[in-house]
Structure 1
Amino acid sequence: MSDDLAERVQDVLAVDADEFEAQAKADAEVVKRELREGTFDNHQSIIGLEYEFYAVSDGRWSVNGEGTNALMRVPRRLLELMGFEKELGLHNAEMTTSPQPLNPHGLRAQSSEVRARLSAALDCAGSEGMRLVSDGMWTIPPVGETATEYLTDSISDKRVRLATNMSGSVRYHAMANGPTAPPSRTLEAPHVTLEADTVMPESLITSIQPHYQVSHAVDLPLFFNYALRAAGPLLALGVNSPFFPADLYDDDATPDEILADGWDENRIAVFETVLNAGDHEKVRFPNDLGTVEDAVDRVADDSTMVPMSVTRGDRFDDEFATLRRKHGTYWRWVRPVFDGATRSSANARIEFRPIAAQPTVRDSLAFQAAFAGLMERLPRQEHPAINIEWETAKENFYTAMREGPHGDIHWLDADGDAVAGAELYEDLLVHARDGLRLAGCSEEQANYYLEPLRKRVETGVTPADWKRHRVRDHLDDGADFETALQEMQREYVEKQSETLLEGAFSDWF
């Protein structure tokens, strides 16, 4: 870490928090005025996607396979060559697609852009002996290090605590050094407890984040509240992080206990327990929205972890730059977004954050299509799912985190009848399909986008299930837990290398 990073963190910590809060509230009034004037209306639905990856060794230079698929740090110059963005950890890389209209051409453009850019990135990474992996959580630490060492290693520079393996983002480093920062953060999950003095353990996890831009900003609360009802069922189909790196488990935890007690989507627990520390509850299942102005006020009123100064330029969204900065640490599993470089591109959208990165691109894009289809159809139909109590929607979400689609998840179908299991997903996916049809897709096109999710319903197998089965098989063959876990992970990467760009998860079994 350089002196420059420590100095930049110190500069951030010197920002007056009260002044920052006051400016954020003033910016909120700007956004609410523009909302009343219709600036954020666009009269069409727009979709986008954020897609995170982590890097591992491809094993070409390993001896007897040792170190194959171990976590690797991505050189910053390589990220620039790939056209990807840095994320929290040095092993992370993120792609953000260009927003497109929700229609057959826009969906195809999203698919083509992801595949084109990822294909080029894989070639670029391959020259460095590494591979980008689409997954919910990494489990094989870098060669010569334990996961605990990698996640907790830090230094003190000018009395600033810096995580050794974190990217150079001032915002992330400042979280460990602010006046309200706790002395340590604790990652907690069944049979796992990890203490760290930075937010670096959050870099265990990777996700996809579909965006849906509403046509009329005043309608955002209705779409948002439907998204909360759909969050649990969609999360259940996407579970993909049932295991931590082996050395993070408690010494006295047996393989049978880990398999029996572990959750299907530990990514949820990692994000919540690491960042909800001290006086801040930053990551949670959000409450229903009443008005679009409420959405703006929630961001302005959210507790401030890092009051960073902003530079205001000539862009439209520079008129509320401090509020946008504050939104950067406004983490909810579903969250509203207001931005736009120009008045003509100003937009109000919903960012859907529960889904882990999936085994293949097609599976990841299936969630983008399903979410967009549901947003297009459910509000227009006045689907009875909106009558699901908020407390039930929240419980659905955390049941899905723990048990995937095998848990007791509640839904109301188009007739208002309570359904669960296969009936739930029949209703959900039919309406996702109908939403894509409303957006101009043929029935064949809509079914193609959603087929990976239908396969999961039909087979009863999620990526988390696949991982559990493979670990159990290796244990039954006599492997110890760490070996079983790493063999599973290597099989995951190997199968993904054959199917990431063109196949689907259902091809794996």
Structure 2
Amino acid sequence: MGDEVKATHYSGAHRREYRRKVQQCLDVFETMLRQSSFDFERPLTGMEIECNLVDEDYQPAMLNQKVLAAIADPAYQTELGAFNIEFNVPPRPLPGRAALELEADVRASLNAAEAKANEHGAHTVMIGILPTLLPEHLAGGWMSDSARYQALNDSIFTARGEDILIDIGGPERLTLQTESIAPESACTSMQLHLQVSPAKFADNWNAAQVLAGPQLAIGANSPYFFGHQLWAETRIELFTQATDTRPDELKTQGVRPRVWFGERWITSIFDLFEENVRYFPSLLPELSDEDPAKELAEGRTPQLAELRLHNGTIYRWNRPVYDVVDGRPHLRVENRVLPAGPTVLDMMANAAFYYGALRTLSEEERPLWTKMTFAAAQHNFVEAARLGTAARLYWPGLGEVTPDELVLRQLLPMADEGLRRWEVAVEVRDRYLGVIEGRAKTGRTGAVWQVETVHALQDRGMTRPQALAEMLRLYCERMHSNEPVHNWDGP
């Protein structure tokens, strides 16, 4: 959920001091990149999984405080919506059979959380957007009890000065006005972290940007919002619009959105933090007592609290992360592209595909991003979100290709080679990349299964709300089976 804040309103003087502190943190960070020893000798991967809570009728259940109290595990935290919880998977290395152990641990933990949720008449669901969520569910009492979320909501609307317009195309276009950031709470994702050295950060971030489109096309799982069939991965456009601090006039001037793909390839992690400071005013100007320059001068590791908090309110799809663990600083690429679900196995497969392809792409002698424009990578990302497996993606040397062809011909071999370089066991590579191969060959993602199932149920005479609830019930049954989505049958 991010760090809690103490206030929901801030004076002008407070904001000016925060801006000064952010700039000071940025200067200290630049010095650290030149001088300091970052922790990367044993790179770790991490995962965050956001879940929804539903009642016995598969409608949103605003029960996260009760469910979290029952789970009583610090790995589980609140998210923006009272029907959301987040599971933070402890970091671990990639080599050997570690991923199989991780899969078993994640399943066991989520099953235990499900049992605790059942005590309160709720179920947990891993899905990109809860398909039964409707406007009336977000009319009141939808937000988690948190000063951070209230301050974020107030700051976004203060900056914007008017209601937010949600306008998303697709087979059944949706247009509405919202007086809060409530629609953002509909977006539930999985986030993948990779710890990297300062020298290798830029190559890994650039490679992650290249992969974002194919990742989405083969992993889409969010076709419905407020009862409308929209994009294959509606979460991307919904999150972009639901936190937009810009009225139309600022959009026309070219002011950048806070949910951002970016606009250029980088040469250092500093490029991203510098852009964040230069382009984006603060939303949560919480001040710490730390003097980062003094900490560094005295041989300690600065927390850079203001810079980290500011960075946490700029929602890049591949976000740079600075963190301190046991007194040692480290850097991470946080991949925020993918939706949650459909199963733990599917999410592990998505992770293996990402980490493997990222390793190979980031180590090429002539990097792929030197052969394509940044705009092409962004276009791939949007098209994949919009159309999923039906998109056409640009790839250097191939031109425009379908996602299945790109994955089967280019990216799966890359992913296998990358995992081999990570010293991942053959059985692990075969298990997870076999799931991606199956998805590419059948064309069946979570989004495709959801749409096919809802249409089949409506053809049998159900209304749209009935079909969405029944689809979600069937989805949950299959989610718990851990059978990958490309093997799921229909209703």
Q: Structure 2 vs 1, CA of residues 385 and 80 (structure 1 numbering), >3 Å: closer, same or farther?
A: farther
Paired letter, 2:281: S
Which residue matches 1:148? 135
Which residue matches 1:218? 199
Which residue matches 2:253? none
> Does 2:387 align with 1:407?
no
The answer (yes or no) to whether the contact 1:50–1:95 under 8 Å persists in 2 is yes
The Cα of 1:492 is off from its aligned counterpart by: 1.4
The Cα of 1:337 is off from its aligned counterpart by: 0.8
> Does 2:332 align with 1:349?
yes
TM-score, length basis structure 1: 0.84
Which residue matches 2:174? 192
Partner SS for 1:484 = helix
Residues 402-430 of structure 1, C-alpha deviation per residue, up to 9 Å, x if partnerless? 11021111223xxx444623331121111
The Cα of 1:78 is off from its aligned counterpart by: 2.8
Q: Distance in 2 between matches of 1:54 and 1:492?
A: 13
The Cα of 1:119 is off from its aligned counterpart by: 1.9
Paired letter, 1:189: I
The answer (yes or no) to whether the contact 2:232–2:387 under 8 Å persists in 1 is yes
Partner SS for 1:99 = strand
Q: Structure 2 vs 1, CA of residues 417 and 139 (structure 1 numbering), >3 Å: closer, same or farther?
A: closer
Which residue of the other structure, out of 243, 249, 263, is the alignment partner of 1:275? 243
Q: How does 1:247-286 map to 2 (within 5 A)?
A: 258=229, 262-278=230-246, 281-286=257-262
Q: Structure 2 vs 1, CA of residues 13 and 200 (structure 1 numbering), >3 Å: closer, same or farther?
A: farther
Q: Structure 2 vs 1, CA of residues 232 and 295 (structure 1 numbering), >3 Å: closer, same or farther?
A: same
Which residue of the other structure, out of 408, 424, 442, is the alignment partner of 2:406? 424
Which residue of the other structure, out of 149, 153, 173, is the alignment partner of 1:176? 153
> Does 2:275 align with 1:298?
yes
Q: Distance in 1 between matches of 2:40 and 2:267?
A: 21
Q: Distance in 2 between matches of 1:187 and 1:318?
A: 40
Q: Structure 2 vs 1, CA of residues 14 and 70 (structure 1 numbering), >3 Å: closer, same or farther?
A: farther
Which residue of the other structure, out of 49, 58, 65, is the alignment partner of 1:76? 65
Q: Structure 2 vs 1, CA of residues 241 and 167 (structure 1 numbering), >3 Å: closer, same or farther?
A: same
Q: Structure 2 vs 1, CA of residues 404 and 347 (structure 1 numbering), >3 Å: closer, same or farther?
A: same
Q: Distance in 1 between matches of 2:161 and 2:436?
A: 41
Partner SS for 1:110 = helix
The Cα of 1:437 is off from its aligned counterpart by: 0.9
Q: How does 1:31-430 map to 2 (within 5 A)?
A: 31-57=29-55, 59=56, 68-82=57-71, 83=73, 84-141=76-133, 147-153=134-140, 164-178=141-155, 179-190=158-169, 191-214=173-196, 216-246=197-227, 258=229, 262-278=230-246, 281-287=257-263, 288-301=265-278, 302-310=280-288, 312=290, 318-344=302-328, 346-382=329-365, 385-386=368-369, 387-412=371-396, 416-418=397-399, 420-421=401-402, 422-426=404-408, 427-430=410-413
Q: Distance in 1 between matches of 2:282 and 2:224?
A: 32
The Cα of 1:341 is off from its aligned counterpart by: 2.8
Which residue of the other structure, out of 16, 19, 26, is the alignment partner of 2:17? 19
Partner SS for 2:167 = strand
Partner SS for 2:154 = coil
Which residue matches 2:8? 9
Paired letter, 1:203: S
The answer (yes or no) to whether the contact 2:285–2:306 under 8 Å persists in 1 is no
Q: Structure 2 vs 1, CA of residues 13 and 449 (structure 1 numbering), >3 Å: closer, same or farther?
A: farther
The answer (yes or no) to whether the contact 1:137–1:204 under 8 Å persists in 2 is yes
The Cα of 1:219 is off from its aligned counterpart by: 1.9
Q: Distance in 2 between matches of 1:435 and 1:7?
A: 44
Residues 37-85 of structure 1, C-alpha deviation per residue, up to 9 Å, x if partnerless? 242241333210110000011x2xxxxxxxx111101242431442210
Q: Distance in 1 between matches of 2:11 and 2:164?
A: 19
Paired letter, 1:309: L
The answer (yes or no) to whether the contact 2:208–2:358 under 8 Å persists in 1 is yes
Paired letter, 1:24: V
RMSD: 2.4
The answer (yes or no) to whether the contact 1:240–1:264 under 8 Å persists in 2 is yes
Q: How does 1:453-464 map to 2 (within 5 A)?
A: 453-464=436-447
Q: Distance in 1 between matches of 2:22 and 2:105?
A: 35
Q: Structure 2 vs 1, CA of residues 357 and 78 (structure 1 numbering), >3 Å: closer, same or farther?
A: same
Paired letter, 1:328: G
Residues 145-202 of structure 1, C-alpha deviation per residue, up to 9 Å, x if partnerless? xx2132243xxxxxxxxxx321122222123333424332222212212322221110
Equivalenced residue count is 459
Paired letter, 1:9: T
More off after superposition, 357-366 vs 78-87: 78-87
Residues 303-357 of structure 1, C-alpha deviation per residue, up to 9 Å, x if partnerless? 322212335499966531111111110111111111113343x211111111101
Paired letter, 2:89: T
TM-score, length basis structure 2: 0.87
Paired letter, 1:42: F
Q: Distance in 2 between matches of 1:343 and 1:374?
A: 31
The answer (yes or no) to whether the contact 1:30–1:319 under 8 Å persists in 2 is no
Partner SS for 1:310 = coil
The Cα of 1:286 is off from its aligned counterpart by: 1.4
The answer (yes or no) to whether the contact 2:99–2:428 under 8 Å persists in 1 is no
Q: Distance in 2 between matches of 1:319 and 1:463?
A: 40
The answer (yes or no) to whether the contact 1:242–1:263 under 8 Å persists in 2 is yes
Q: Distance in 2 between matches of 1:289 and 1:490?
A: 44
The answer (yes or no) to whether the contact 2:214–2:380 under 8 Å persists in 1 is yes
Which residue matches 1:30? 28
Paired letter, 2:8: V
Q: Distance in 1 between matches of 2:467 and 2:451?
A: 10
> Does 2:484 align with 1:504?
yes
The answer (yes or no) to whether the contact 1:317–1:341 under 8 Å persists in 2 is no
Partner SS for 1:176 = helix
Unaligned runs of 5+ in 1: 60-67, 142-146, 154-163, 250-257
Q: Distance in 1 between matches of 2:153 and 2:364?
A: 46
